[in-house]
Every structure is written in structure tokens, then in C-alpha cells.
Structure 1
Amino acid sequence: MKKWNHTPAVFSKRSVQLLMAGLALVVSPGVHAIPSEQSVSFSHKDWDLICDNTLTCRAAGYSTSDSIPAATVLLTRKAGPATPVTNQVMLADYDGDTASKPPGVPLLLIDNHSLGTLLSADEDAWKMNRAQFTAFMQALRRDSDIRFKDNVNEYIFSGAGSSAVLLKMDDVQGRIGTTGALVKKGHNSESGVKLPVPEPIIIKAPVRDKKSRDMTAQETARIKPVLMKLIAGGHDSCDEERLKETWQIARLDEKQSLVSASCWMGAYNSGDVYFVINNDMSSIPVIVTDSATSYDDGMVDFAMKGRGLGDCWSYKYWTWDGKRFVPSAIGDSGRCMLIRAGGAWNLPTLKTKVITH
């Protein structure tokens, strides 16, 4: 998955209604829950915390909402004793660097004092060296003026909310009172902090059809009425006009297929409803989701804009394991701050390891 350009996966009211309707009707002996640690999300003022199911925590800080152009800093720490905190810095370039002159390498400024240029992290981001990062963390605690500056702009960064968010990060990973805590340090060693949780493993099953095709008239006549009854049980989850569009189907194996139909459309997002059916329609179909974007080679995905500008997204993936479509990735790209088209970061709440046969 790319460094994602997609906001926490937001489940629409339609999704909840339709899913509950499906669960009420379907009891599948092959269905099993993915064992995983509960993800944690927490926000205070200009900082957010997202800890995924492996106990890796990501704290994202931003400029204030009225500060243009904006900057964002991402602090990432894995669970376990003595794990380092990595940092990334991203400065607003929503239009793709349309400035009249190259921005150059940015400087870190604390209380109007330059701490030198940042290091390159990748094609989009920068990072602070060890001395800069130490000064940055001290500046957060002192509520100092923090800025980044390049040849084009100054980017005023906000530390408001950082103490609460970083304290929560320590709490989630069991570091409060230890020598490695970011906020409330103590004399305790980190030997007793929480360990990383392994990513759940999903064995991806092969599928007969890697792409969906339009259903034939005969398939539509046989399958659609059954699925329409299931949709009706979801309290008008899908728009009637959208359901009149051509439905699609893809064979998963010799006994089961994936059927999809256009379900809803908003101002700048849309969602399709997906079902797993027995080809002979001998059992009640199972609803995968009513908010998906596409199907490809055994994977259903959903990408949703947080707003029309497209500077923040959420995403979710489901992977076929031979019995059902299992949630395999959930996350978002951080706040809508006009930093990048597609969003600034990849902030997962669910991570899995998908293994292909």
C-alpha cells in the first residue's frame, strides 16, 4: 500500500444498517474474527494519536487551522522496550510545487533561532536529525515558537495538544514512569512495557475471476430479486435509482461468486454494495459491505474523500480467504489541511499480513 492518500474509515449509517441486516440473516460456520489488539484514536487541539492493532503509535501534529501554508509532523513509535521515535516533516504543497522558484531544503526555527536544514526523508517528506529532534521535543514542552522555513514560505507549527497526545501514546504502550516515556519519565526500566502485537495473517485464496463483468439478463433475473430482498431488510440503505444500474459479478470459485451493485452517491463519494452468493442460490447471500469502490483479484476496497478538495481520505480493504472477505486494512491520511492532494500521511488502524497461495 502506498503512503496513503486516504480519514479514519468512516462507516456510513447505511453500512451499519445493512451489515446488521446481513448478520441477522446469516450464520456462516466459516466466519471467524481476526484476533487483534483494539486500535486507539485520540485527539487534542492540533495533535492526533492513532495506535494500530500492532500497538504501533503515530502522533501527528499540525499547524493551527487558520495558519496557511500548513506544516505537519509525524512521530512514529513501535511497541516494545527501547524502541526509537522516528519523525517526519511535511510542508504544504497541495498544488504540486507551483511556486516561481524551488523551495529548497527547509530550516527548523525555534524561537526565531535556526537549528539548520532538515534531512530528506523521501520525495514528499523531511526529517529532523537527532539534535534538531531533541530541541523540537523540548520546544513542545516549553510551548516555544516552532517554524519551518524554505525559500518560498514560513510554516508556523503548533504544539498545542502535543503533551496530552504524547502522554496518551506513552499510556497505550505502557511507558508512563519509565526512562523511555516521552512525557512523564520515571526511573522504571522499559523491560515491562507492552510488546508489539503480531499482524494478523490472512491467507488470500485464489479466485476464478480477477475482474467483475456485467451480469447477463438471465443472471440478473435469477439473482437480483433475492439480493433486493436482503437490501430491503437494511432499511432503504441503497438508493433505488442507483440499484437500477447494471449489476456486476465475478466468480470466486466453482461454488461462489461476488455480486456488486451501485448503492449510494454523495457530493464527492459513492459506494457499491457487495454480496457473496452461492452460484446455485441455495443459501442466503452474505453482505460484504455497502460502501466499496472496486474489486480486483480477490480484494474489495473503499476509498473516501474527507472533503471535495481531496486533501484527506479514508480507506478500507477486504481480502478473500476462500470463505469470506476479511477486513485487511483500515486507515486514513490525517487531517484536511491542504498539505497534499491525496493527504499527508498513512495512519492505519488495522494492519494485517496478507499471504498469497
Structure 2
Amino acid sequence: MIPLRHLVSAAATAALLMACNNGDASVPAKADASAVTQTSVRTSPVAAETSTGFASETKTFRDWTAICDNGNDCAAYGPAEDNGGFVMVKLAAGPDAQPQVLADSWALDAGTELIRLDIDGRNYSGKTENRGEFNILTIDRPSDQLMSALAHGRAMRLSAKGETVPVSLTGAAAAFLWIDERQGRLGTPTALIRKGTRSARSVPAAPALPRVTVAAPATQRDLPKALSPHVTSLPQARECAALYENTDNGRNDWAVHRLGADVLLWELPCGAGAYNFSQAYVISANDGSNPQAVDFPTPRGPIDSLVNSDFDSATNTLSAFGKGRGLGDCGSMGSWAWTGREFRLLSENNMSDCLGLHWDLWPSTWRTAR
């Protein structure tokens, strides 16, 4: 099975990795239409948001992938044979954090049976829990012996009901070393791979996370009953209408929400597939004038649409879930808040490879303080 990074379109993948502002308490809760059209669609580079010194980063080490978010929480995972499952190690930032090992293989059809993890003939036990269509083996506070086996072992496998699936260990040691270096664990008892006698208290604390001030929700009464011609005159709106596979030139699935006293958010369908539906967003005054297409910032640059997105007027937040395939075990999830002037990222989780990992367990790539 081909990894998601080769399957998903750039638009669908990029749509869900956003940046947020660090400490925007001075941003007004509301903005008038003129202010919105001048500022809300222009965002600062993501580099300016990582004032803690930690950027979200993903590294590939042979068969293993390692991911650390802006708060320095990290995860590393390796694929089972034919991408039929995974073994993942998660480790939060800070001196008191403990690793967690997760594993599953959708190819095993384990049902409620315990999934076994064996390395070089030795079994490492844990608990198996059901998450929808997935059964996850979880080993909390794994032993030093298990972590050493993951880093230096020769052969790993998952098994259930008499079936066995090999899982690659190639690259695990390098992924662990990169995490240890990034989190400042090398030479301490908390290191994943290169332990030592240096005090665990020398491990840096988790960095402060960015804060996003969410604007107070606005009333949704007296919203427009028709799509404004000012909005449809935008080049992006015309492009979306041409792309969207629906009747009436793609204009019958639009929606509108109120962000402030004189600020509307228009949601336009902008492409459809088997399980991914993209939306573009436009901000305008109440009469539709001064429309501006919203560009959402990402670490790779701004994008102009989201995937499977939904606006919650009660919390002034947008959420999106771009699926790598219909099973929903890979892709990207994100949520953004309206600050009164622009949308800022609240959280993002990403799983680039389709390995049967439930979305609740996807590695974090961006977080904000709550």
C-alpha cells in the first residue's frame, strides 16, 4: 500500500496545517467590515509564531517517521508489512514525561482478542482497547528492556488469532535519537535510546504554548437568504463554482455565518470527491460588500481552502478533517478560532501514512494553550 504522502493532493494535505499567534490578548473581540477586509485575510509568517524556538517538524529515518509539535511533544512510528499496521512511541516534553507504546494491525482482524507484540522472540504485554473499527495495543510506561529492543532489535511482529504481521525496526534508533536530542534528554535516565547518569531535572521543561483569544460569538439572526453577488464576483468563488460537482453551478450548498456586528463569513463548496469535500471562505460586510477570500496560513505558506470543514457559531471556531482514505485512519485534523480579525490555529493532528491508526491517537503537530 502506498503511503498517504503519495496519494493525497497537495490541497487536501495542506489545508489542515495552520499557524497561530503567541499571546494575542490585545486583539479586539470585534472588527468592523473595513478593518476585516484590510487585515483578516492577511496573516504573518508561521516562523513569527514559533517564539518558543520550537517549530512543528517531521523527519523520516528509513522506515520510521518522527514528529514533534510546537510544544515539543513527539511521536515516532514504524509500519507493519504492506502498511498493514504500526508500532508507535509517544513521548511528551519535560523531565517528568513517560513514553507510551501503541500498536495495531488492521490486517490481523483481532476483534476483541489481545494483540501481542514480540521482538526477537520476547513478548511485551499491554492492554488492548477498542476504538471504533480499531483495536489498539497500549503499553504505558514501557520498560527499558522494551525500549532497548525497539531501538536495537532485529525482528518485531504483531500477532492475534494465530496470524502474524512483521513490523519494521529499520530507522527506529535514529528516530529515537532525534527525539532525545530535540527534547534535551541525551545522557539522562529519561532518554529513549542514549541513557546516562545526567540528572533528569536537566531535561528542559515543556515550552509555553501560544495563546489564542477567541472573539465572543455573534448572533446568527437575520442572515442573508441568498448568496451575495459581491461574493460570487470574486475569482475564487467562480473557480469553486466550476470545480464543485453539484447542480446549479455548485451554488446550492453554500452557507453564511455571522462573525461580528458587521462581519459575515461565507462558506463556498469548492470541490468534491468520494469522502473529501473542500470549502473556500469569504469575509464581507453584512450587505456582502468588500468581500475578501480568506487565506489560511500554514507552515508551508497560505492556502485558500479547507477539507471537510465546519463552522461552529457557538464557539467561533472552524474544524476540518481531511481524510487520506475512507477509513479515516490517515490525513489531517485541525481547528481554528476567529479572534475578531482573523482565524488562528488552535490545534492540528496529522497522520501521513495509512496504517490503521485511530484519529484520536494521531501525533500532534500544533497546539495552543487552553
Q: TM-score range by the shorter chain?
A: 0.7 to 0.9
Q: How does 1:295-314 map to 2 (within 5 A)?
A: 295-297=311-313, 298-308=316-326, 310-314=328-332
- Decide whether aligned partners of structure 1 residues 87 and 209 sit closer, same or farther in structure 2, where only a CA change above 3 A counts: farther
Which residue number corresponds to residue 54 of structure 1? 71
In structure 2, how many angstroms separate the alpha carbons of the residues matched to 1:307 and 1:321? 32
> Which residue number corresponds to residue 161 of structure 1?
171
Partner of 1:109: 118
> CA–CA distance in 2 between the matches of 1:315 and 1:212?
32
Q: Deviations over 1:7-56 (max 9, x none)?
A: 8x98529979xx9xxxxx96428977684431111122332111111111
Residue 97 (structure 2) pairs with residue 90 (structure 1): no
Q: Secondary structure at the match of 1:275?
A: strand
Partner of 1:348: 364
Instruction: Assess if the C-alpha contact under 8 Å between 1:26 and 1:286 holds in 2.
Output: no
CA distance in 1, matches of 2:62, 2:293: 41
Which of 127, 131, 154 is residue 119 of structure 1 equivalent to? 127
User: Is the CA contact (8 Å cut-off) linking 2:58 and 2:67 kept in structure 1?
Assistant: yes
Question: Measured at CA, do residues 189 and 245 of structure 1 come closer, stay the same or move farther in structure 2, by a change above 3 Å?
Answer: same
SS of aligned partner of 1:336: coil
Matches within 5 A, 1:208-357: 208=218, 215-217=224-226, 219-225=227-233, 228-229=234-235, 231=236, 238=240, 240-242=242-244, 244-246=250-252, 247-266=254-273, 268-280=275-287, 283=290, 285-288=292-295, 289-292=304-307, 293-297=309-313, 298-308=316-326, 310-337=328-355, 339=356, 345-354=361-370
How many angstroms apart in 2 are the aligned matches of 1:182 and 1:13?
Answer: 34
Identity %: 23
1:3 aligns with none
Unaligned runs of 5+ in 1: 1-5, 20-24
Contact 1:334 1:345 in 2 (8 A): no
**Structure 2 match to 1:22:** none
The range that moved more, 84-93 or 319-328, is 84-93
Q: Which amino acid aligns with 2:240?
A: C
Shift, 1:276, TM fit: 1.9
Q: Distance in 2 between matches of 1:205 and 1:302?
A: 19
What is the deviation of 1:241? 4.9
Q: Which is further off, 328-337 or 155-164? A: 328-337
- For 1:41, the aligned partner's letter is T
Whether the aligned pair in 2 keeps the contact of 1:139 and 1:145 (CA below 8 Å) is no
Question: How big is the alpha-carbon RMSD for the aligned residues of Structure 1 and Structure 2?
Answer: 3.8
CA–CA distance in 2 between the matches of 1:84 and 1:112? 25
Change (3 A) 1:106 1:267: closer
- TM-score, length of structure 2 as denominator length: 0.72
**Residue type at the aligned position of 1:251:** R
- Alignment: residue pair count: 322
